[in-house]
Amino acid sequence: MSLFDLSGRWAIVTGANTGIGRAIAVGLAQAGADIVGVGRSGMAETEADVTAAGRRFVGVAADLATPGIAPSIIAEALAAGATPDILVNNAGIIRRADSLDFTEEDWDAVLDTNLKSAFFLCQAFARAAIAAERPAKIINIASMLSFQGGIRVPSYTAAKSGLAGITKLLANEWAARGINVNAIAPGYVETNNTSALRADAERNADILKRIPAGRWARPEDMAGAAVFLASAASDYVHGAILPVDGGWLAR
């Protein structure tokens, strides 16, 4: 059996309708996993790609900013027949404004969706995995701003730096319980999240100039790291924040 084979495992992926979440869901399915897509928008295209790969797809409709929603998401996934094997906390938003003008609403919206929701999904998922006595893998989607400050995105930087911290904390608590908790830190990826940056010619050129690989990432560039962190290949990897950034952090 391949170290990277995910046959017989279920992966719960938040924000699976588009961008990085969609690419990771499809990549995990191509490696053999069945998929639970969690999101607030229709996921028909992801479902089509997952079923084309010969895997099952279950959709769970949820707005992750809703307080207290995490246990019901995991319960719905399990009720649909999924086992608690792999969780990918991918859903996220960004709000851009100068810190002098930044609003409390933009602070709370980003922290609630990108950090609080991810932590409580980890908790509900880990409780289910431990109750089922199954080894499990959690992959959080961090950012370059888990390492760097960024510009005009204070709540996003706080959330992604916090997510890296929580990833390490949960790895410390749960490694001995059979749960690997790690993160992928994508570089600059062509998705809705970065459309404003790519539309700004000056920022776009500045960013591109610093990427050793010489191009923005495509969402599919994140799939291999996700398969690695979801599979037996990473069984002794705990608390890592894995950059997939075309070399950005090496500069």
Residues serving a catalytic function are 156
- Shorter beta-carbon distance to ligand NAP: residue 167 or 193: 193
CB of 178 to ligand NAP, least distance (A): 26
Q: Say whether residue 194 binds ligand NAP (CB under 6 A).
A: yes
Residues 24-53 interacting with ligand NAP (rule: CB under 6 A): 39-41
Going from the C-alpha of 53 to that of each of 1, 29, 59, 153, the distances in angstroms are: 19, 6, 16, 37
- Selected from 53, 86, 87, 91, the binder of ligand NAP by CB under 6 A is 91
CB of 21 to ligand NAP, least distance (A): 5
Residues 109-128 interacting with ligand NAP (rule: CB under 6 A): 113-114
Stretch that binds ligand NAP, among 15-23, 131-139, 167-175, 235-243 (CB under 6 A): 15-23
Q: Phi then psi for 163, rounded to 5 degrees?
A: -65, -35
CB of 57 to ligand NAP, least distance (A): 15
Q: Say whether residue 77 binds ligand NAP (CB under 6 A).
A: no
Q: Say whether residue 18 binds ligand NAP (CB under 6 A).
A: yes
- Shorter beta-carbon distance to ligand NAP: residue 114 or 234: 114
- Tell me how many degrees the CA angle 195-224-49 measures, rounded to the nearest 5: 70
What angle do the packed helices 223-230 and 19-30 form, to 10 degrees? 50
- Selected from 120, 188, 228, 248, the binder of ligand NAP by CB under 6 A is 188
CB of 113 to ligand NAP, least distance (A): 5
Q: Hunting for tokens 């560039």 — which residue is that? A: 221
Residues 125-184 interacting with ligand NAP (rule: CB under 6 A): 141, 143
- Selected from 6, 11, 12, 17, the binder of ligand NAP by CB under 6 A is 17
- Shorter beta-carbon distance to ligand NAP: residue 32 or 92: 92
Residues 6+ apart with CB under 8 A from 154: 99, 102, 107
Provide the phi-psi class of 15: left if phi over 0, else alpha when psi is between -120 and 50, else beta: left
Query: Using CB under 6 A as the criterion, which residues of the chain lie in contact with ligand NAP when the complex forms?
Result: 15, 17-21, 39-41, 63-65, 90-93, 113-114, 141, 143, 186, 188-189, 191-194
